[in-house]
Amino acid sequence: DAKTTQPPSMDCAEGRAANLPCNHSTISGNEYVYWYRQIHSQGPQYIIHGLKNNETNEMASLIITEDRKSSTLILPHATLRDTAVYYCIVTDSGGSNYKLTFGKGTLLTVNP
């Protein structure tokens, strides 16, 4: 009952922008889009989240389509250390029984 769909893998050249897509066509009005990543052998790391507006922080930008059925995580200048599995998660913020459900994610490989 995955709420999101992501490509299993992507490649990116070092220094270029990495654009990771996510489809969440069944998202409801009170659900946020969260992105986490997991570098090999480490725990997952929060990247960014948003509801309907585009968001930017020191790590990445999140672009959410107007209908909210899809989003794109952008790493503006990918480095080798950005090689990781990236998870797109849809969740009901503030819900009484919320939880993060991790799918298979996208393995991003940044090549030199």
Among 91, 106, 108, 110, interactor with another protein by CB under 8 A:
91
By residue count, the chain amounts to 112
Please identify which residue in 16, 69, 77, 104 interacts with another protein, judged by CB under 8 A. 104
Q: Say how many Å lie between the first and final Cα of the chain, rounded.
A: 37
C-alpha 23, offset from chain centre: 10
Options 16-24, 32-40, 51-59, 67-75: segment touching another protein (CB under 8 A): 32-40
Q: What span, in angstroms and rounded, lies between the C-alpha atoms of 52 and 97?
A: 22
Q: Which two tokens stand for residue 22?
A: 């996510």
2 near another protein, rule: CB under 8 A: no
- Contacts with another protein, residue ranges (CB under 8 A): 32, 34, 38, 42-46, 49, 87, 89, 91, 93-104
